[in-house]
Structure 1
Amino acid sequence: MFILVNLKAYPCDPVAVARAARDVADAHGVRIAVAPQAADLARVEATGVETWAQHVSPVEHGSHTGSTLAEAVEANGAEGTLINHSERRVTLAAVDDALAAARRTDLETIVCANDPEQAGAAAALSPDAVAVEPPALIGGDVSVATADPEIVEGAVAAVNAVDPDVELFCGAGVSTGDDVEAARDLGATGVLLASGVAKAADPRSALEDLVSGI
């Protein structure tokens, strides 16, 4: 199982979270990555943790003020990027262009989707993974794998029907080892989470709990 911790714009210490994630990953032999804000990518990467971007823009070098260029993300240490998170939605055409931008720099990609239908459409664009995250459950106390397991099962089936080489992750409400275990049992190969770690009083303890489900 892959665990990706999205720090969003929460008022946490990204370096402290990154160090905790690195230490837990090393201690348990688990793949854990941290996705900080773009301005913090280099600081987080310097800790040695696997580092991801929260977004890359569907653009090339040029007049694109305010964009997040894939080349800049890669130069600052990111190994992958989220695309189309529910809080950073783009059109399907823009998803395709963002994937092309990520491929220019060999960034691994996760395209987020709201439901199984969108997951299947995203898989047709050949990202490395699709993450199904029902927006209503994001930031909540109940994980999608518990609240609506049919969404995860449906997304697994939809993605496999389109391209079995694309992995299926799930997110929304994931915060415990039980949530990770439930996601795995439903066929997901990774989880996305944010507040469960970024807003935790003790991020390391939260991460230790998460990996207990693997």
Structure 2
Amino acid sequence: MFVLVNLKAYPCDHLEVARAAADVADDTGVRVGVAPQAAHLSAVADTGVETWAQHVSPNDYGSHTGSTLAEAAADAGATGTLLNHSENRLKLADIDGSVQAAERAGLETCVCANNPAQIGAAAALGPDAVAVEPPELIGTGTPVSQADPDVVTGAVDAAAAVDESVDVYCGAGISTGDDVTAASDLGATGVLLASGVAKADDPEAALRDLVSGAK
């Protein structure tokens, strides 16, 4: 089970979270990753934690001011990237371009989507993983596995119908070990969360609770 923590643009201590995640991963053997702001990628990667970019752009080298070049993210220490998060939606052609850019730079990819139909479309683009995240549940503390478990099983089935090698992660409202267990029971191979760790008073305790539910 993969636990991927998206720090978004929260005013958290990215190094505290990264060090806690690295320690928890080392202690438990559970795969834990952290996705910080682009400017913090190098510092987070230096802690030894698995580091993901929150986004990479679909372009190659060139005149692309304001873009997040996949190669630059990799050079900073990222090993993977999120794409098409509900807070940073992309056109289908741009998702495809970003997946290709990430692959060119050797980055693992996870494309986010709202529902099973979108998961199927995302899986067809050939990412390593997809993450189903109903936007209305993001940040609520109510996991999709509890609010609407059919969304998770439907996403797993939709991805498998396109490409069985694509992993399916469960996002939106994940905050406890029980949520992680529920996601696993529904067929997900990872969870994507943010506020449950980034806003926690004790990020390490929150992480240890989360990985307690990993299978």
- State the TM-score bracket (shorter-chain normalisation): over 0.9
Post-superposition CA distance 1:141-172 (Å, at most 9, x none): 21011111000000000000110000000100
Post-superposition CA distance 1:120-140 (Å, at most 9, x none): 000011100000000000000
For the aligned residue pairs, the C-alpha RMSD in angstroms reads: 0.4
Segments of 4+ in structure 1 off by > 4 A? none
- Paired residue for 1:135? 135
Post-superposition CA distance 1:29-50 (Å, at most 9, x none): 0000000000000000000000
* Matched positions, count: 214
- Paired residue for 1:10? 10
Which letter maps to 1:18? A
- Report the secondary structure of 1:34's partner residue: strand
- Paired residue for 2:156? 156
Aligned equivalents of 2:106 and 2:63: distance in 1? 23
Q: Report the TM-score, using the length of structure 2 for normalisation.
A: 0.99
Aligned equivalents of 1:141 and 1:162: distance in 2? 31
Q: Report the TM-score, using the length of structure 1 for normalisation.
A: 0.99
In the alignment, structure 2 segments of 5+ residues that lack a partner are: none
- Report the secondary structure of 2:59's partner residue: coil
- Paired residue for 2:147? 147
Aligned equivalents of 2:212 and 2:170: distance in 1? 17
- Paired residue for 2:182? 182
- Paired residue for 1:172? 172
The alpha-carbon deviation at position 20 of structure 1 amounts to 0.2
In the alignment, structure 1 segments of 5+ residues that lack a partner are: none
Which letter maps to 2:196? G
- Paired residue for 2:35? 35
- Paired residue for 1:66? 66
- Paired residue for 2:75? 75
Aligned equivalents of 2:141 and 2:123: distance in 1? 28
